[in-house]
Amino acid sequence: MCVTAVESRPVGGGSSHAIGAMGELGVSQKPSQRPFGARVKAFVALTKPRIIELLLITTVPVMFLAEQGVPDLRLVLLTCVGGYLSAGGANALNMYIDRDIDALMERTSRRPLVTGMVSPRECLAFGIALAVVSTLLFGLTVNWLSAWLSLGALLFYVVVYTMILKRRTSQNIVWGGIAGCMPVLIGWSSVTNSMSWAPVILFLVMFFWTPPHYWPLSMKVKDDYARVGVPMLPVIASNKVVARQIVIYSWVMVAVSLLLTPLGYTGWFYTAVALVAGGLWLWEAHALQNRAKAEVTGAKLKEMRLFHWSITYVSVLFLAIAVDPFLR
C-alpha cells in the first residue's frame, strides 16, 4: 500500500536552512550529533505515519464490506501492520530518490535525509528492508494475493511515479495515484483471497479522488515545485484550468461512488452518506472554481479548504462502508 495523500502542515526553514543543516546535499551529521531518540523519530518520519493513517482508513472498512460484518480481528491487525510496513518502505524509498529536491523545497526541508539525521545509505537499506518484510508478512500470514498487490503498489509508487512520472509530466499525480488506490484491493483480498466489482469501484473512487485532493495543495505550494522543476499541473497551468480539472474529476468521483448500491454491495445508509458528502465536495469544488474564474489569488483563493475537506470526505465515505453492512 502506497501513498497519495500528503501532509499539509508548513515547515520552517527554507532551502538555505536545509542545505545548511547538511553542509552539502547527501552529507550526514556526525554520529555524535544524532541522539538515539532523535534517530528513532527520524526513521519513523521516513515512513510518513500521518499519511499512512489515511491509507488504513481506506483498507479496514473494505474488510468489513468484504466480510459483510466484523472480519477476523487478527487478520485486520496483520493487514494493518503489513500495510504500514509496505507503505512505510515506499515512502522511505521515495525520500531517498527525492532527497535532492526535498532539500530545495520549503515543505520538505526538514525531512530526515535533508537534515542529515538519517544518511541516504541508511534510508535506502531501511526502505528495502520494509518492502521485503511487508511482502513476506502478507504472504505468510494473510495470503499471497494481498502480498503481490502490496508489492505491486510499492513498486508502482517508487518506480513509475517517483522515478518516471513525477519530474516529467503534469499527469504525474493522476497516474501515479494508482499506487494509493491499491489499499482497497488489498483490504478486500485479505478477507476473500479474490477480487470483485466492489473493490474495483472503490479503486476507481480513489483514482478520481486523488487529483482533486492533491492539486489544491499543489496550487498553494506551486512555487516550491516550480523551483525544483517538478511539473505539477498548477505549475504549468492557470488556476482556472486547474480548478476546471478539479471539478471534472470531482463529478466523476461522486458518480462512481454511487455505483456500489445498484450493484447490491451497499444499502441506504452508505447511499445517503455518499450523496451528502459528495454534494458537499462538489459545493467546495465549484466554489474554488468560481474564485479561480474571478482571478482571486493568495489566501483569498482558499484552495486548502478543498484539500482538508477531501480528507474528511474519504474518511466519512469509508466509515459508511464499514457501518453499512450492519444496517442492511
- Note the pLDDT tens digit of each residue in 241-289: 999 999 999 999 999 999 999 999 999 999 999 999 999 999 999 999 9
pLDDT of res. 5: 41
Helices (H), the chain: 15-22, 36-46, 49-67, 73-97, 99-102, 112-115, 120-141, 144-155, 172-176, 178-192, 197-220, 222-228, 233-236, 239-257, 268-293, 303-323
Is the pLDDT assigned to residue 169 strictly greater than 90?
A: yes
Average pLDDT over residues 7-35: 46
pTM for the structure as a whole: 0.89
pLDDT of res. 35: 85
Same fold flag, 44-184 and 196-327: no
pLDDT of res. 30: 56
pLDDT of res. 2: 41
3-class SS at 324?
helix
What separation in angstroms does the CA of 64 have from each of 20, 318, 321? 49, 10, 8
pLDDT band of residue 185 (cuts 50, 70, 90) is: very high
Class of domain 196-327: mainly alpha
Averaged pLDDT of the chain: 90
CA distance 120 to 95: 9
Is the pLDDT assigned to residue 49 strictly greater than 60?
A: yes
Instruction: Write out the DSSP string of 169-233.
Output: -TTHHHHHTHHHHHHHHHHHHHHHSS--HHHHHHHHHHHHHHHHHHHHHHHHTHHHHHHHT---H
For the chain, the domains span 44-184, 196-327
pLDDT of res. 130: 98
Domain 44-184 has CATH 1.10.10.10: no
C-alpha dihedral sign at 225, 57, 74, 268: negative
